[in-house]
Chains A and B, each alone.
Chain A
Amino acid sequence: MTYYAYLVAVFVLLTGVFGIVRSRNLIHTVVCLSVAQSGTYVLLLAIGYQRGVSPPVFGSPPVKPTTSVTDPLVQALTLTDIVVSATVTALLLAIAVQVHKRHGTVDPNELVALEG
């Protein structure tokens, strides 16, 4: 058992968070959010991975039903996760464009319409 992939997952998540906190551009903010989410992909795939086994495709003859395969469930979760990410990123980018139109800036620290 190796912890390396798990550490990478947490590191990627925290990198994304750090990027958002230090962000000076909304596009950068939204992309950092995607980076943070990439951490979850790494984590999910790492959970299902086993060294030296085949992919979970049982159609072709050499793969018998008893063969060890990587866990297909986490791969399905990752796909769902990617779909969610695409939706949210697209939506947030559209909002970022609108913020630029209305506020005349894309620096998240210059948005002062709401405070207190």
Chain B
Amino acid sequence: MVTFDDGVALVPPIAIAVPIVVACVLLAVGRRLPRMVVDATAFACAAGEVGMLAVLLERAAHGRVVTWSGHWNPKNGYSVGIVLVSDALGAGIALLAAALVVLALVYSWRYFDDVDAHYHCLVLLFLAGMVGFALTGDLFDMFVFFELMGAAAYALTGFKIEDRTAVQGALNFGVVNSLGAYIALMGVGLLYARVGNLTLPQLGEALAHHKPDALLVAAFVAVMTGLLVKAAMTPFHFWLADAHAVAPTPICVLFSGVMVPLGIYGAFRVYWVVFSRVFPVGDIRRAFVVMGVMTALVGAVMCLAQRHFKRLLAYSTIAHVGLFLVAAGCLSDSGTAGAALYIAGHAGVKCALFLLAGTMLNRYGSVDEIDLFGRAVDAKIMRWLFLVSGLALAGIPPFGTGLGKAVSEEAASHVGYVWAPVLFVAVSAATGAAVLRATGRVYFGLGEPPPERLSHRGTSGSEEEPEVKGLLGRVRLTMLVPILVLLGGSLALGLLPGAHAAAEHAASAFTDPSAYAKEALTGREVVGTPPVHVGNWTMAGVLLDLLSAGLAVGGAALALYGARVARLTRIAGRGLPALQGLRRVHSGLVTDYVAWLMTGVVVLGGLVGLPLR
């Protein structure tokens, strides 16, 4: 039974408010406190969030937790209040955000030697924005939390304010994301003009029997643009590589692990609750899948072309976002479940890789795989962690990435995209190969010493400022533990017997707009589909995962030793102008990025609007 005045309904607003309050307190008195107290306060706050959100997730798995703020409960299905609706996927991604913040704070503990309390303050505000965005059931609040997490994120990106790349990255990030948010706000306004309401359930109900017209197409495209800018869909993705490459390492963890997936989450939340009964499923599926494939391919190619290790990881995130878009864009329960598992598994592995990149930066003073060639062969533990993470990124079983990939492949084939396994295998293998290539060069000294002519192309990683005073002699325990926890988490996701079944159950609630509206507006629980008992792994999934891992190793070997094979160089030589063109498009100039953003709006509008004519 869902009631509005249930005790657990207090959890979502408290979970949003607590980090904001603690952040304000830290901002006011943090300067006078010793660093240790500031660290401990921020840590305690984030750990408390994890506890609260875990309770919420447990409850939300059995039915949505609905909170009408200030008891403005709906009467006869109508309310002018503001609502928070937590279902399993919403509470789950909020929990992921809180858990990653805890790990990022632990990692920052001994990592930044000279930060004031405003670092912790910004991280907690960022957390509040993410939790609010995940739990809100109100379209305008989505915009507000979007901007709250945006503003905190821009400031954190430019945190190393003496670093010339950091300020440029923060500027690109800020301008592109804010513009996306304003375009989304236009869409929010249009929807309000049509319906006279802003809560997702009431919007969905009002539009349920509406014919798609020009206004709804414009509103849909505008809202999606804002959310997909955050999700870094091509051609909105340019800011991501710049921001990730320059942000402090613990912040990259939050960006890649949860902020970018939150964009996907928001887009599909709005699609399912508000628009799924308006547009023909086939058109929207085509739009998401086309954009997803493009994103995945651009990300994979650019990932292979990087030498700056954090930038390489950033492009790998773009590639994976493309895969998430394809999976969730199938607009089926299993596709959504696949995307959710993939996002969770990917968060563990990608965050571990970013933290590993941080240890690389602070031991060797650079994240450039060419400069660091063979420099780290003495690192005994790190090299193996890099190796395992690279394989896990390609999706080797039994990591959560492999599970998510297998479920997604199956879901995509099921709705008729028989080529989907090829895409998933190729793209995940490419990102894995890029990581393994860098690992091979830096940590194992494999391959030939890189030729000189390569060394002045693209962004190099040697300008990156270390985040500690002096370089570290060895990796500290507070850095090692979060890496192990993250990899362990991704592994546990793949091994936990009920993971797939739970994701399917959560996804079937996520994709049910009328149950969402009914529970939010009446407080009466809707009996959903009972949980299905599906095993985690299928034979086909395991084989495809092993294939990607194998291809990743093969690809890395080819990149390291391929130059010896003359024929391959010729092929590479022929492909080079196209690659150069693609690299030049990623110009680092905010003016270009905004032009691309508008192009993307037009493309998206065409994909959604033209089939309706």
Cβ–Cβ contact B165 & A29, under 8 A: no
Contact of A75 with B by CB under 8 A: no
Cβ–Cβ contact B589 & A80, under 8 A: no
Q: Mark B148-175, 1 if CB is under 8 A from A, else 0.
A: 0011001100100111110111111011
Cβ–Cβ contact A88 & B174, under 8 A: yes
Instruction: Give the interface size bracket for B toward A.
Output: 35 or more
Contact of A87 with B by CB under 8 A: yes
Cα distance A112–B586 in the bound complex, in angstroms: 11
Contact of A70 with B by CB under 8 A: no
Which of A37-45, A50-58, A60-68 touches B?
A: A37-45
Cβ–Cβ contact A92 & B168, under 8 A: no
User: Which residue of chain A is the closest to B307 with respect to CB atoms?
Assistant: A116
Checking B163, B167, B594 against A95 with a beta-carbon cut-off of 8 angstroms, the contacting residue is B167
User: Which residue of chain B is the closest to A13 with respect to CB atoms?
Assistant: B186
Cβ–Cβ contact B588 & A113, under 8 A: yes
Cβ–Cβ contact B590 & A115, under 8 A: no
- Residue numbers in B under 8 Å from A98 (CB-CB): 158, 161, 167
Contact of A47 with B by CB under 8 A: yes
Cβ-Cβ contact count across A and B, 8 Å cutoff: 138
Cβ–Cβ contact A109 & B589, under 8 A: yes
Cα distance A87–B353 in the bound complex, in angstroms: 33
Query: Taking chain B's interface residues, is the majority helix, strand, or loop, or is none over half, making it mixed?
Result: helix
Contact of B25 with A by CB under 8 A: no
- Residue numbers in B under 8 Å from A88 (CB-CB): 147, 150-151, 154, 174, 178
For residues 1 through 35 of chain A, which have their beta carbon under 8 Å from a beta carbon of chain B?
9-10, 13, 17, 20-23, 26, 29-30, 33
Cβ–Cβ contact A47 & B457, under 8 A: no
For residues 59 through 116 of chain A, which have their beta carbon under 8 Å from a beta carbon of chain B?
73-74, 77, 80-81, 84, 87-88, 91-92, 95-96, 98-99, 102-103, 108-109, 111-116
Contact of B144 with A by CB under 8 A: yes
Cβ–Cβ contact B174 & A91, under 8 A: yes
Contact of B510 with A by CB under 8 A: no
Q: Mark B170-201, 1 if CB is under 8 A from A, else 0.
A: 11101100110111011001101100001000
Contact of B11 with A by CB under 8 A: no
User: Which residue of chain B is the closest to A104 with respect to CB atoms?
Assistant: B164
Cα distance A74–B305 in the bound complex, in angstroms: 47
- The smallest C-beta distance from B438 to any residue of chain A, in angstroms, reads 16
User: Given A21-B591, A88-B151, 15 other A-B contacts at CB below 8 A?
Assistant: A36-B179, A44-B185, A73-B80, A77-B140, A84-B144, A87-B147, A88-B174, A91-B154, A91-B174, A92-B178, A95-B171, A99-B167, A99-B168, A102-B162, A116-B584
